[in-house]
Structure 1
């Protein structure tokens, strides 16, 4: 019975259940306790050009501003220093975020996996990866292993950090941006899909029109609501703007729909009892 436990016998540091607040309407979507939880794994997917990297960097910068002592890391496996300069010009608050750039170098015997593992194991409150698939591919090529194995290496690292198995014993939260297929579906194995705490989706209201309204929603969420939409705008400089009023209305409608569905189920059960013989 040494492998069997009871939840009542386990104890956790109360700090584990504190959340990081962004100071925007996004807090209400990230969890039912408001803000980004500790020790979780959120995956972010969305159509090309919808602003996945911008939304994540904006979230990190806002948290850094509110929690100066928080250890935050952005791992960039898709964009280099020059690419991110454009982002910093539009959003100056991004310039103080610690960034680990990961690039393949086939001319030399480079092992980016060793660097990523060493840096992450230093202990961080939040680590964002852009993107999981690109980093997975770099590890596969450099270590001469299968994509399946590279995925396992990354998942093992993430799970250990979630549980605080690092130099600072910090329960690290991961925000992993993932690529999608042409049809907009998640790229990755079922194991990867089931291992995440939540799936955040960034979508266009009209997928065929890149200029249509954009929104954030969760299709899977162990810590909050599913299906509620938070619309956002990237046209302004300095900060991402969120439509809080529209979000509150959408959440209210979803809760009303849930209550009505529950009442219908209760009525159906009572009806069955009346006409079902003993």
Structure 2
């Protein structure tokens, strides 16, 4: 079978290029078209306590409110029902999100892989996993396989859902929270790193101070910009607050710097042409 194609010969359903909006400044970072695209795989990393789960749940709750017919699922492999109940007391907007709880249970013949696979293959618009590493470990232990194999199983499942290979033919987008080492490095194989569409990083402005300002940025992004910072705070009011004014100011400054750098390069090229013999 010939797999060589020209991009101009390919065609896709226009719905595949629609995006889901949060209604916050985060939409500006999620893609160059604003919002979360369909059929992509975004990974979220950050230090312990920086707010990865809260940011993702806030995204899902906002999208659920804006798109009530969208099928959105949160897979919790870290928090059990009681933990999440206490969590929702602080953030009540999360209480209507569909949640699939995944826990190791060696006393019963539980196969979480089959459960996760069956539920995911029902077809969803957006699936968030908290966390990839924890779910990978549960699958590894229960199926008695290597961590590398458990990772492969999850990557394969995600890629199939990205392509809409499920009962509803929905091009599913995955938001997978991943752990990092104490030094802040990504936990996972190069294959996992290369399989993702974008890497969203939640960082502290001062890594040594847990109370310092927090920001979201992308270090890898096939659908948008990298290096742009969006500062946020996790208030006690049950919502995530984004510093939109600072974000747009920083973005404008970065654009100005890029424009100036481009002008300098053009000037250097013109200078070289004047003084370089043919």
Q: Indicate the TM-score class for this superposition, using the shorter chain for normalisation.
A: over 0.9
1:50 is displaced (CA, Å) by 0.5
> Could you say what secondary structure the match of 2:95 adopts?
helix
Rounded to whole Å, the distance in 2 between the matches of 1:277 and 1:106 is: 77
Could you say which residue in structure 1 is the equivalent of 2:63?
A: 63
Deviations 1:78-133, CA, capped at 9 Å, x for gaps: 11011111221011110100000000012222210001000000000000000001
1:2 is displaced (CA, Å) by 1.6
Could you say which residue in structure 2 is the equivalent of 1:206?
A: 206
Deviations 1:24-82, CA, capped at 9 Å, x for gaps: 11111111111111111100000110000000000000000000000000000011011
Rounded to whole Å, the distance in 2 between the matches of 1:58 and 1:179 is: 19
Moved more, 23-32 or 262-271: 262-271
> Could you say what secondary structure the match of 1:115 adopts?
helix
> Could you say what secondary structure the match of 1:96 adopts?
coil
Rounded to whole Å, the distance in 2 between the matches of 1:9 and 1:95 is: 45
> Could you say what secondary structure the match of 2:215 adopts?
strand
Rounded to whole Å, the distance in 2 between the matches of 1:275 and 1:149 is: 59
> Could you say what secondary structure the match of 1:45 adopts?
strand
Moved more, 70-79 or 143-152: 143-152
Rounded to whole Å, the distance in 2 between the matches of 1:148 and 1:273 is: 54
1:253 is displaced (CA, Å) by 1.1
Moved more, 6-15 or 49-58: 6-15
Deviations 1:248-272, CA, capped at 9 Å, x for gaps: 0111111112112222222222233
> Could you say what secondary structure the match of 1:148 adopts?
helix
Moved more, 80-89 or 259-268: 259-268
Two-structure CA RMSD over aligned residues (Å): 1.1
TM-score (norm 1): 0.97
Q: Which runs of 5+ in 1 are unaligned?
A: none
1:273 is displaced (CA, Å) by 2.5
